[in-house]
Amino acid sequence: MAETVFILGAGASREAGGPLMRDFFDVMQRVLEGSQNQALKDTLHTVIRAVVELEASAARIKVDTNNVESVLGLFEMTRLVGPPVAEGHDDMVDMLDRLIAETIERTVLFDSSSESRLVPHASYMALANLVKDIQQRNAQRCAVITLNYDCALELALAECGVPYQYSLPSEAPTDGAVPVLKLHGSLNWGHCATDGSLTHPVVPYRVETFLQNVPFHPGTQHVSLAISRRLDKLSCPECQEQCSKTPVIVPPSWNKTSVGDALRPVWRRAATELGDARNIYVIGYSMPQTDLFFRDLLAIGLKGGSRIERFWVYDPAEEVRDRYRTAIAGPVLQGNGCLRAEAMTFTEAVADLKQRLDADFDARDLGQKRFGY
């Protein structure tokens, strides 16, 4: 298991162009209204009308209809208990999932090099290289737990030659692979579209495979990694049926039963990695009140907490840092002084970690030379 665990939130994707959850609907409307795809715009208008209907409920009970993940959770609830939010539309969850995927893939953009390779974002490349350094120089295993749906991290890891795995049962094991644990799903995760397939395995369309199959014009700017649109190229290993074009996206709400047991191995692995970690670095994840699932997962993973040497939080927002101080700073963590919260962006956080960890590496190497071991 890993000794160093990174936890990434929307603040990391924001630097790559991705919207935050609180302004997601505004970005979605702005981006998709200009689409030439009329079916996509019709889907957008249907979802927006449904959100307006939900706002009537918000007048009677506190519902955050500005947060896309909160709305997705409510759509999940109506799918379970009915009636549908929009008359004649029982598939509101799939419709919103498709819009989320399209919005992210149209905002998290990349440049194509002269060799027709997509160039990862600098901040993610810095993180991928940091993971590589920790594993090579310090002989420590790393894991990444991310609450983001995009594939910017995987692109950077692949570019750096760092093998990774999602801990999905459909994957073949790879020695030395970095666990990339996407708790809320991913734009490149397909699932079977047949009825009664909730227990069928999730199938990842790996970024490297996608890039081999889809050519990009050299030297092009603002290229979309539109991997979710090709999920129907995958087939379900359980029944051999074609996968749906709708990616696996799971809202951070009380209910995750809609994906059956398919993601349970990912969540179990995340809890194990947190429990075994000595160093936990949280970057750009606000730990919102609505994400009770992750709070519970963190509590289970950190029970005891005797191994924790560093629990460092990086976020520009003071309220987020205070939230961690209140929620995480129990006697075990607070007493040994391992909790640290800094007002830094994703780029600044990775640079700070590199500087501090390089100093640790240099001090260790000096000590080994001085004492002959």
Q: What is the pLDDT of residues 176-186, one digit of tens each?
A: 899 999 999 99
Q: Is 83's pLDDT higher than 70?
A: no
**Could you give the CA distance from residue 194 to residue 234 in angstroms, rounded to a whole number?**
13
What predicted TM-score, i.e. pTM, was given to this entire model? Answer: 0.90
Select the more confidently predicted residue: 82 or 193: 193
- For residue 371, the model assigns a pLDDT of 39
**Could you give the CA distance from residue 80 to residue 43 in angstroms, rounded to a whole number?**
21
- For residue 161, the model assigns a pLDDT of 95
Q: Is 72's pLDDT higher than 90?
A: no
- For residue 157, the model assigns a pLDDT of 97
Can you tell me the mean pLDDT for 85-105?
Answer: 81
Local structure of residue 229 (DSSP, 8 states)? G
- For residue 259, the model assigns a pLDDT of 63
- For residue 132, the model assigns a pLDDT of 95
Q: Is 121's pLDDT higher than 60?
A: yes
Going 288 to 292 to 295 to 301, the CA torsion angle's sign is: negative
For residue 135, report the phi and psi dihedrals to the nearest 5 degrees: -70, -35
- For residue 253, the model assigns a pLDDT of 61
What residue ranges do the domains of the chain occupy? 4-18+120-188+246-369, 21-107
**Structure confidence at residue 372 as a pLDDT band (50, 70, 90):** very low
**Could you give the CA distance from residue 42 to residue 19 in angstroms, rounded to a whole number?**
22
* Proportion of the chain above pLDDT 90, given as a percent: 49
Bridge partners of residue 109, in order along the sequence: 224
Q: Is 366's pLDDT higher than 70?
A: no
Q: What is the pLDDT of residues 126-154, one digit of tens each?
A: 999 999 999 988 778 999 999 999 999 99
Tell me the one-letter amino acid at 219: G
**Structure confidence at residue 64 as a pLDDT band (50, 70, 90):** confident
**Could you give the CA distance from residue 297 to residue 274 in angstroms, rounded to a whole number?**
9
Q: Is 34's pLDDT higher than 80?
A: yes
Select the more confidently predicted residue: 252 or 16: 16
For residue 348, report the phi and psi dihedrals to the nearest 5 degrees: -65, -40
Can you tell me the mean pLDDT for 351-373?
Answer: 73
Tell me the one-letter amino acid at 93: V
- Domain 4-18+120-188+246-369 matching CATH 3.40.50.1220: the answer reads yes
Q: Is 303's pLDDT higher than 90?
A: no
**Average pLDDT for the chain:** 85
- For residue 89, the model assigns a pLDDT of 52
- For residue 28, the model assigns a pLDDT of 93
Cβ 73 vs Cβ 255: under 8 Å: yes
